[in-house]
Amino acid sequence: MGIQYDEQKRMFKLDTENTTYIIGISEEGYVGHAYYGKRLGQFGGRYLMRMEEAPYTPSVNRREKNSFMDFFPMEYPTGGIGDYRESCLNVRNSAGSVASELFYESHVIEEGKPELLGLPASFGDADEVQTLRVVCTDPILDLRVTLLYSVFEKEDVITRSALVENKGEEKLYLEKVYSANLDMENREFEMVSLCGSWARERHIQRAGLHYGKQSVSSAKGESSHQEHPFIALVTPETTQSTGEVYAMHFVYSGNFIAQAERTHFDFVRMVMGINAEEFCWRLLPGECFQSPEAVMTYSDGGLGKMSRSLHDFYREHLIRSPYKYKKRPVLINNWEATYFDFDTQKLLDIAREAKKNGIEMLVMDDGWFGKRDWDDSSLGDWTVNEKKLTSGLPDLVNQVRELGLEFGIWFEPEMISRDSELYREHPDWAIQVAGREPGQSRAQYVLDISRKEVRDYACECVAKILRSAPISYVKWDMNRQLSDIGSACLPADAQGELFHRYVLGLYEMQERLVTEFPDLLLENCSGGGARFDPGMLYYSPQIWCSDDTDAIERLRIQEGTALIYPLSTMGAHVSDCPNHIVERNTPFETRGNVALAGTFGYELDITKISEEERAQIAGQVELYHKYYELIQTGDYYRIASWSDRYPWDCWEVAAKDASHALVTFVQVLAQPNMHNKNIRLCGLDAGAGYRLEGTEEVYTGEELMACGFLIRDLKGDFRSKLYHFIRE
């Protein structure tokens, strides 16, 4: 039983296989946090809410209520009533004041998990998850707030969100609605987050938690290249296999904030939710607002255990696509091969050569529509450019399929070019502030998909193309952030809703797409990895990881991504050299080995690469098919990181039944006078023997995990090798 309630103690106990989360209700009716950590056999005492400090409790000493509010470990803190730490809910009433105070009213424990209307969210049946609804009210505002906690026992995950309802007769304005809060004592925590920029997304960042607020956030209308909706607090000794981790991740694809605050009492408040910057939601009488879902997990086995919990959770309870476990075709994308300069014949030449080498799908990227010969026109004009595709799209698709390949296509449905027929006809469909010239980025504007007629147009454009030919795959791109935030259709006091309504519109569009085309393989993309977030995984089982396909730069990008996402979600391709972004030359073998730690495909002109490199493709494709199931479903272990202190990089994927394991080792920088590297494997059967494939060498699982395995005869920069250990 995952959720229990002790009526005498007025406490809730939420248990997963390895963790316990305890919530209590104070004498006044405040919902407080008592404990989160290793699983407890018993409830624990009410002292965990610090209620023994009675002089500061309002029911005992009303003259010091503010002192109590600024100290009490709240489950869902509100603004304007004396809790000077970060609030989760700020409500402005019709008189203009901001204050809200929530008191426990009731609760319900139910089997399974409810959907969140209009939002991506985790799912599970009654055998997998229980949900606690804690109903709180503000009697002054006639406001009801339901706190939702869903407990996924097997994966050690608790998801959280809040439903805010206006039960009164006056309109209210929600100026902040976060999804989760965690108050606890500081234990010299360090904060782990993911940061970067275009072409170097999700690098791991770790630093000590100082007094005050430390946050990562986005106000760009997407989760962004620069920061990521994830935060973890770790104890100082935390490594991949040791130490304690408290992590939150946000199932949302727009503006967010993830923040840790160290207070003057040396407590820590950790929050996650929609960024309050430029957010204000008008809540009319009878209306409700549902916050997106926050995913929370605790690990006492270091960052590696956290990673494996999140990987299992997302695979089993967030990704819905039929491609969750279905083998995905090895594709070749023409973007870096041709950019905008292609025609039917050039694409068919690539397809023919690709087929010879075992590649299974051709993807036609940007440039096939309107008069799109560069990036400065035609977005929104989703009609085939028959100067390039001289016999039309259906004929091209059929010719590719006759060669034995599937066909995929690129769209950017959320965008509009100034130089387009659509903009000339509907300039007001672009997001813009009335009276101001909207800023362009990549020579394009953003469509106001908060408007139904705009969504309908964009959805029908995509669907019409997909209905015209047997297309198996769509790459959905978004190449600029939002700015000049204004909608021609929202009233003045609802303009603060546009950012969130945009994201809701995006979710509706993608839901319509996967509903009409349920067998479609959808890959989301945003200038590379700017919208790689759990919200997108609900619609697409894979997301393009980064526009930087350089194998060495990808080590950091994919390490940071794999910290929280399954390898099967990471779009990764082998590209040409010198690399088009960093101009580095790396061995073709290394490019292939790094891409195998993702979806695996190609991004190059196969008709122009050297014979030596082309000859390696069939072998790489064979490796993909050989290791696909292991990489898709196995447990991920990070063994070494060159972004830390090593001149090499190493990771492992072990089958859950310990039957075999694949180790990838990359020698990033060669060093003189160095001995062979010793690496210790993980996730094996200690009592079993393991043969190193391709040799007669046999090791015990205990030996490989405790003593290690020597990496030999790997010299030179950027060299790599795969090691496959098979239980005998």
Phi, psi of 176 (to 5 degrees): -160, 130
Q: What is the rounded distance in angstroms from the CA atom of residue 201 to the CA atom of residue 592?
A: 20
Contact indicator for 206, 189 with CB cutoff of 8 Å: no
The verdict on domain 331-633 having CATH code 3.20.20.70 is yes
pLDDT tier, 628 (very low <50, low <70, confident <90, very high otherwise) = very high
Q: What is the pLDDT of residues 454-502, one digit of tens each?
A: 999 999 999 999 999 999 999 999 999 999 999 999 999 999 999 999 9
Task: Let me know if 547 is a catalytic residue.
Answer: yes
What tens digit of pLDDT does each residue of 373-402 get? Answer: 999 999 999 999 999 999 999 999 999 999
pLDDT 10s digits, 402-428:
999 999 999 999 999 999 999 999 999
Q: Where are the domains of the chain?
A: 3-317, 331-633, 638-727
What pLDDT shows up at residue 362? Answer: 98
Interval 56-60 mean pLDDT: 73
Among residues 83, 156, 477, 605, the one annotated as catalytic is: 477
pTM: 0.97
pLDDT band at 63 (very low <50, low <70, confident <90, very high): confident
- What per-residue confidence (pLDDT) applies to 713? 79
Q: Does domain 638-727 have CATH number 3.30.160.40?
A: no
Q: Using 50, 70 and 90 to split pLDDT, how confident is the model at 293?
A: very high
Catalytic site residue from 533, 547, 550, 576: 547
Kindly state the average pLDDT of the residues 575-590. 97
Give the pLDDT confidence score for residue 50 in this predicted structure.
75
Q: How confident is the model at residue 45 (pLDDT cuts 50, 70, 90)?
A: confident
pLDDT digit string (tens) for 115-170? 999 999 999 999 999 999 999 999 999 999 999 999 999 999 999 999 999 999 99
pLDDT tops 60 at residue 55: no
Percent of the chain predicted with pLDDT > 90: 93
Does residue 477 carry a catalytic annotation?
yes
CA distance 376 to 364: 19
Average pLDDT, rounded, for the chain = 96
Residue 51 pLDDT more than 80? no
pLDDT at 675 over 80: no
DSSP collapsed to 3 states, 447-503 = ECCCCHHHHHHHHHHHHHHHHHCCCCEEEECCCCCCCCCCCCCCCHHHHHHHHHHHH
Beta bridge partners of residue 526, listed in sequence order: 529
Nearest-angstrom CA–CA distance, 482 and 255: 10
How many degrees, rounded to 5, is the angle at CA 462 between CA 457 and CA 467?
120
Q: 525 pLDDT band (50/70/90 cuts)?
A: very high
Neighbours of 662 (CB within 10 A): 23
Instruction: Decide if pLDDT at 56 tops 70.
Output: no
Q: Is the pLDDT of residue 231 over 90?
A: yes
In the predicted structure, residue 540 carries a pLDDT above the cut 80: yes
- Could you tell me which of 346, 364, 369 has the C-alpha nearest to residue 409? 364
> Distance between CA atoms of 229 and 295, rounded to whole angstroms?
11
Lowest-confidence range among 54-63, 129-138, 638-647?
Answer: 54-63
Q: Cα separation of 6 and 222, whole Å?
A: 42
pLDDT exceeds 60 at position 54: no
- In DSSP terms, 131 is beta-bridged to 110, 150
Task: Indicate whether 314 pLDDT > 70.
Answer: yes
Q: pLDDT band at 65, cuts 50/70/90?
A: confident
CATH topology (fold) of 3-317: Beta-galactosidase; Chain A, domain 5 (2.70.98)
Averaged over 552-571, what is the pLDDT?
98
Q: Is 652 left (phi over 0), alpha (psi -120 to 50) or beta?
A: beta
pLDDT mean over 691-701: 97
